[in-house]
Amino acid sequence: MPALEPRPGTLEILGLPLCDGDRPLGVLLLDLAAPPLSADPTLQAGLHLLASSGAAALTRARLFEGIRDAGVRYRLLLDTTHDFVWEADADFQVRSPLPHWEAFTGQPFESYRGFGYLAHLSPEVRARYLNVIRDAQQQPRSISFDLPVLGADGTYLYGQVQAVPIHGPDGELHSWVGTMMDVTARRQMERHQGIIQQVLQQLGTAVEPQELLHAVLHAARAACQGRAAQVVRLTGRGHTVHVLAHQTQERPGDPQDTPFPHNAETLWNALEAGVPTWIAPDGTLCPDHPTQTDGIAPTASTAPTVPGGMLALPLRTDAGFHVLLLIAGAAAPLSPEVRDHLRWIQPYLARGAQRALLAWTLHRREEQGRHIIDALDEALVLCTEDGTIRQASGTALQLAGLQRVEDLPNIFDPGWHLYHPDGRRLEPSQYPAFTALHTGQAVRDALVRRHLPGSVQWVSMNAVPWQHDDGRRGVIVSVKDVTELHLLRQQLEVQAQQDELIRTPIEWAAKPARSERSE
């Protein structure tokens, strides 16, 4: 095996195994200038596609060595991707049996001979295919296109078709040869990624809880063509059912009022089912999946039908909250495509509903906190590190003579006119908030004078620093007006001094005597 010569700047060598089914073919080595993102699904899909293409190319090269003497037809055939080979005449009619097509579709040769294979194409795909081959006949050239084909199990498979023209000695178009690769898994992955990206985009643009829930309802209802949907929250078996959001799309012929089930026991059983479940009008539950009986494999025709049923889609996360999506107007039973669609978006809808509930909880707690703060008889403000006031109680706004938090000046603004009790002006760097923020220690009961136009206000200030795990920090400042208390204390002190000055001589003489007796 020749040694791999890494390029300058190579950080990592990535080896991709090349296999043809269970048979190993070799290894494709890639030198990477940056570590791969192993969790990126797009990268994983790309690497899988690269390995598949590499294995196909290696297989093609080995086949080329074996049949290179077979003539121009097979040499051209090897220029296409190796999966199953087909051959048709100049008009794209099949003239010989194609075993791979029979295994792919279940059609016998007598059925797909000529243009009989078109029966396994939907009308829309058939029209598009006929346009492609018509253009190819007018200007013969190599062509490549995707072709959804009805498989033997009744589901559509995706084939990637490649074809090259074969010309006779006279230059006339003689026939077509090519391959069709089964790319169903790849196309499904791309479709699933597109669906998930669409759902994530809808949920990502929602901010408020109701917007999030309506995005969840819209995504689920669109997946199964439902006319109405509800999000309900359950707290336990037999507990109250909380309707969080409701969404309706009016369609001609639909009933105006959609009766949604609200029996807690029924809904809890549907939630515990863990899978899409139909709720019949009488409350009977019927999981939406085909049943196997007498050893017969389940098919769409053996799936249960629930006339007038309501589809229940459980939404659960590891956080232990319980939410149920109820969808009215969906066709029962769900088609495999719709069921697969719901299966892929279900965890993302659950996270979106959880985000809405967490946002509601946060808003409710913030509202409770504001009520508690407003009930206090002192001013309270929350500031960031730069002194910007983000939250303030009603008392704080009254103290500042303002109506809105946005109008409050910076907590370090000299315009607060703060002074020492002895009359010296306080610099912003001497404010209690500044001291607490830069020392990390709380400042409590700091007596400060605030000079107002025509008066002096005495306040007691507390400043407590705060810091979040993400590095954000600031300070919470409480201010209490103690002007009356301070003036009363001053009056008592003056009164005490005056009492000392107006004592009579007899009282002065009696004072030492009382002192001696006390000793």
The per-residue pLDDT for range 469-516, each reduced to its tens digit, is 778 899 999 998 888 888 888 788 777 777 666 555 555 555 554 444
Cα 229 from Cα 327, distance rounded (Å): 4
Is the bond preceding residue 333 a cis peptide, omega within 30 degrees?
yes
Cα 174 from Cα 224, distance rounded (Å): 48
CB 88 within 8 A of CB 95: yes
Picking from 364, 279, 277, the residue whose alpha carbon sits closest to that of residue 315 is 277
The pLDDT of residue 296 is above 50: no
Amino acid found at 68? R
pLDDT at position 80: 45
CB 94 within 8 A of CB 64: no
pLDDT at position 2: 53
The per-residue pLDDT for range 398-422, each reduced to its tens digit, is 888 888 989 999 999 998 999 999 8
Amino acid found at 101? W
pLDDT at position 396: 87
CA 388 to chain centre: 32
Over residues 158-167, the mean pLDDT reads 89
pLDDT at position 454: 85
- Sign of the alpha-carbon dihedral angle for 397, 398, 403, 408: negative
The per-residue pLDDT for range 112-124, each reduced to its tens digit, is 999 999 999 988 8
pLDDT at position 410: 93
Cα 337 from Cα 275, distance rounded (Å): 15
pLDDT at position 295: 37
pLDDT at position 301: 44
The pLDDT of residue 89 is above 50: yes
Percent of the chain with pLDDT over 90: 18
Write a three-state SS string for 93-159.
Answer: CECCCCHHHHHHHCCCHHHHCECHHHHHCCHHHHHHHHHHHHHHHHCCCCEEEEEEEECCCCCEEEE
pLDDT at position 411: 92
Query: Parallel, antiparallel, or unpaired for β 277-279 and 310-316?
Result: antiparallel
Over residues 351-365, the mean pLDDT reads 83
Over residues 94-104, the mean pLDDT reads 85
Cα 342 from Cα 280, distance rounded (Å): 20
Over residues 426-431, the mean pLDDT reads 92
Fill in the DSSP letter of residue 92.
S
pLDDT at position 517: 44
CA 27 vs CA 33, 42, 64: distances in Å:
19, 21, 20
Q: Over the range 310-344, which residues count as b (16 or more CB within 10 Å of their CB) and which as e?
A: bbbbbbbeeeebbbbbbbbbbebbbebebbbbbeb
Residue 52 three-state SS: helix
The pLDDT of residue 373 is above 90: no
The per-residue pLDDT for range 15-54, each reduced to its tens digit, is 778 887 778 888 877 777 766 656 677 777 777 788 888 7
Cα 81 from Cα 116, distance rounded (Å): 24
Q: Two tokens at 412?
A: 């370090």
Query: Parallel, antiparallel, or unpaired for β 84-89 and 143-150?
Result: unpaired
Over residues 334-347, the mean pLDDT reads 79
The more confidently predicted of residues 194 and 89 is 89
Q: Residue 84's pLDDT band (boundaries 50, 70, 90)?
A: confident
Look at phi and psi of residue 62 and say left if phi exceeds 0, alpha if psi is from -120 to 50, else beta: alpha
Name the least confident of 145-149, 176-180, 191-195, 218-222: 191-195
CB 421 within 8 A of CB 449: yes
- Residue partners of 47: CB distance under 8 A and separation at least 6: 14, 16, 36
Name the least confident of 99-103, 128-132, 434-438: 99-103
Name the least confident of 142-146, 235-239, 434-438: 235-239
Average pLDDT value for the chain: 79
Q: Two tokens at 388?
A: 């910007």
Cα 455 from Cα 82, distance rounded (Å): 94
The more confidently predicted of residues 187 and 516 is 187
The more confidently predicted of residues 289 and 301 is 289
The pLDDT of residue 453 is above 70: yes
Q: Two tokens at 337?
A: 């495509």
Beta bridge partners of 297: none
The pLDDT of residue 81 is above 50: no
pLDDT at position 505: 56
